[in-house]
Amino acid sequence: MKSFSLRSVRLRPGEEYRDEIEVELEPFELGGQRYLPVPDRVPAEFVVSRASTGTVFELRFEARLHGPCYRCLADAALDLPIDAREYQATNPGDAEELRTPYLEDDRLDVAAWARDAVALALPDKILCRPDCAGLCPVCGRDLNAEPHVHEDESTDSRWAALEELRERL
């Protein structure tokens, strides 16, 4: 579902409308990497509640994203429980915090709202597992599959003068 027409729902204060809808999720571009929602259409619980001062919208669903791990670039899957809420005041005036950006001309843009809700639920780093060791900075091998250390670190000859200075101090 891309959008929902509020004209089909006539609520008085204290009443609510509940429905199970299908939300269409789009791929994410995060840190130069692409993350795909699988499946791209998910069932969601959609609730519209009428209060005396405005309308409250609720959206709940589960999203699963697939893409590369931030540390080792292996496949990573991330499950996100989404519980989003928006409020639209009956008479918001100039107060931006009393209106939702997803509502325009009695049409609620459910697809944009769902996308933003998933984006807000994303962690800082998407990992294949919490203890991912990443890639070796010297040889580039996966440290999860081949844990290793390199014996002697080769120093750049351009730093030799600073190395001598450090030894004198």
**Distance in angstroms (rounded) separating the CA atoms of residues 113 and 39:** 18
154: pLDDT confidence band, cut at 50, 70 and 90?
A: low
* pLDDT on residue 151: 77
- pLDDT of amino acid 57: 94
pLDDT in tens, 105-116: 888 999 999 999
Residue 75 has pLDDT above 70, yes or no: yes
Residue-level pLDDT at 56:
93
**CB of 92 within 8 A of CB of 86?**
no
d(CA 144, CA 18): 46
In sequence order, the 6+-apart residues with CB closer than 8 A to the CB of 25 are: 37, 40, 41, 42, 63, 114, 115, 118
| pLDDT at residue 11 greater than cutoff 80 | yes
Convert the pLDDT of each residue in 118-143 to its tens digit.
999 999 899 999 999 999 988 889 99
Is residue 147 reached through a cis peptide bond, with omega within 30 degrees of 0 on the bond before it? no
As a whole number of angstroms, the distance between CA 79 and CA 165 comes to 52
Higher pLDDT, 109 or 163: 109
Closest CA to 110 of 11, 9, 17, 26: 26
**Residue 12 contacts by C-beta under 8 Å, 6 or more apart in sequence?**
50
pLDDT higher than threshold 80 for residue 153: no
Question: Counting Cβ atoms within 10 Å, is residue 80 exposed (0-12), middle (13-18) or buried (19+)?
Answer: middle
Report pTM. Answer: 0.78
Residue type, 62: E
Structure tokens at 15: 């009443």
State the pLDDT at residue 1: 58
The DSSP H or E segment spanning 112 is: helix 110-121
pLDDT band at 93; cut points 50, 70, 90: confident
CA distance 169 to 163: 10
What pLDDT was estimated at residue 24? 92
pLDDT tens profile 15-51? 899 999 999 999 988 888 899 999 989 999 999 999 8
